[in-house]
Amino acid sequence: MSDRGEAKGLVDFLIDSGVLIFGNFRLKSGRESPYFFNLGSINTGVKTTRLAEAYADRILEAGIAFDLLFGPAYKGIPLVVSTAEALARRGYDVGWAFNRKEVKPHGEGGHFVGAEIGGKILLVDDVLTAGSAIRESISLLKHTDAELAGVIVTMDRQECLSNKSAKTAVQQIEEELKVPVLSLLNLDDVIAFFKKEPETQINSASILSRLQEYRDEYGVN
């Protein structure tokens, strides 16, 4: 995130909302992480609006040209709708769509809900660790006339997929898909938050130490 003041405010908001939590967490990758990111805790109108405003600001700041916002089910659904509303409040009216986990055999049917899938798509999701969910979404879009314009997530964990890799998951996705991957925050932003205002956080010195150790072990130098 380019603006450290905005990053600090967003980290503070995510901690207060119970999205960004600290402890010992076993990830799908098998790694032991000192923090966990649960966007399911964004579950009220005020919280959803606050996060959507941050998404809209980051999208407009990046200047990516796109025609449609796409949110992968399930967590991408409220994100994509609320972000479209936040963009509309700024004078940018764009369509939104999301996929069904199971194809609907009756009624309107199909894989997707929302605006017609086509044109340049900006994919909106929560956190990027390995990029599996993004690749699944891209596989769905391959059967449409849509072209991926970019990806935006709340959190980039800045992790390598393996100890042998010299690139983070975000960097690999950008190289593989040939599109930009934006994030509202990354792990460095969280570390900077604890460095700058340790007196505001309980056990902040311990949290900071563990975050830095994790970054050193699994991040790119």
Q: Is the pLDDT of residue 58 over 80?
A: yes
Task: Summarize pLDDT for 23-34 with one digit per residue, the tens.
Answer: 999 887 788 999
Active site residue 111: no
Residue 39 in tokens: 């966007």
* Given the residues 28, 106, 142, 164, the one annotated as active site: 106
* Given the residues 104, 167, 195, 196, the one annotated as active site: 104
- Could you tell me if 68 and 97 are in contact, meaning their C-beta atoms sit under 8 angstroms apart? yes
Domain span at residue 176 reads: 4-218
Q: What is the CATH number of the domain that holds 177?
A: 3.40.50.2020
Q: What is the total count of domains within the chain?
A: 1
pTM above threshold 0.85:
yes
Task: Summarize pLDDT for 68-114 with one digit per residue, the tens.
Answer: 999 988 888 999 999 999 999 999 999 999 987 666 554 454 678 99
Query: What's the pLDDT at 110?
Result: 65
Active site residue 196: no
